[in-house]
Amino acid sequence: MMSRLVIGIVALALGGVATMAQLDQQSRLSPGYALLVPDAFSGNAARERSKLALQLGQPEVALAEAREQIALRPMPAESLSLLALAAIETGNSDIAQEALGAASRRGWREPLAQYASGEAALNQGLEAVAAQRIAALFATGNLRKPAYTLLARLVETSEGREAFAERLAAFGRWQSQIVLGAADYATAENWSSTIAMALDQGAKLNCDQVHRLAERYRRANRLDAVARLQTGACRS
């Protein structure tokens, strides 16, 4: 009788563990399940709870959940990136820098890793590397404002403009997305020069957007910028 009771208790315990593990896995697809998973089983759920806390404006909670995620699943770059974002929101710059550096070494597809690498390259004067990382960041479709901010810094120098013009002229689908958007961050001189160089190199940019950019500069009385854009395949 006692042995059956023990076996039953063990079976219930194993069943509970299996259920928690399944809920943790399911939380990747359905974040609502993350709230049901205990900390000890939160390999994925802690990450989803951290994301939710950031969305709700609870950075301290997000940081705690991100730490829990790192303790259980330390390898994925996404976990490190989320830890960095939560640390930034709470003002823990040292933690953020360490996490960003580790994320950039582990996962090039992570937007925060791309951002960290791009900023580091800019700070070191490696314009070509920075241009590659910024282009990759735009290609992810995430962190748009930080990406534009990095881009504006990059095109402040002639080397940076040349490096990013080469990225614009390379094959890809992300380029046309930024023709107009970057004008809110980079100066008219810097951005029009970059676009002009890219067009001269055969960049397949959306000419309608280039013409709209020129019209925007015309309304701002930046006729020098307008003149620069009258080149390449988008010459009007």
What residue segments make up the domains of the chain, in order of their start?
43-107, 126-171+179-236
Residue numbers in the chain where pLDDT is lower than 50: 1-42
Give whole-number Cα distances, 102 to 35, 66, 145, 217, in Å: 28, 15, 23, 41
Cβ of 195: how many Cβ atoms within 10 Å? 33
- Confidence at residue 161, expressed as pLDDT on a 0 to 100 scale: 96
* Residue from 125, 183, 195 nearest 154 by CA: 125
43-107 maps to which CATH number?
Answer: 1.25.40.10
Q: Are 45 and 73 in contact (CB under 8 A)?
A: no
- Confidence at residue 227, expressed as pLDDT on a 0 to 100 scale: 94
- Confidence at residue 105, expressed as pLDDT on a 0 to 100 scale: 67
**CA separation for the pair 213, 209 (Å, rounded):** 6
For the segment 60-73, what is each residue's pLDDT rounded down to a tens digit?
A: 877 777 777 777 76
- Confidence at residue 157, expressed as pLDDT on a 0 to 100 scale: 96
**CA separation for the pair 152, 148 (Å, rounded):** 6
For the segment 99-115, what is each residue's pLDDT rounded down to a tens digit?
A: 776 766 665 566 777 77
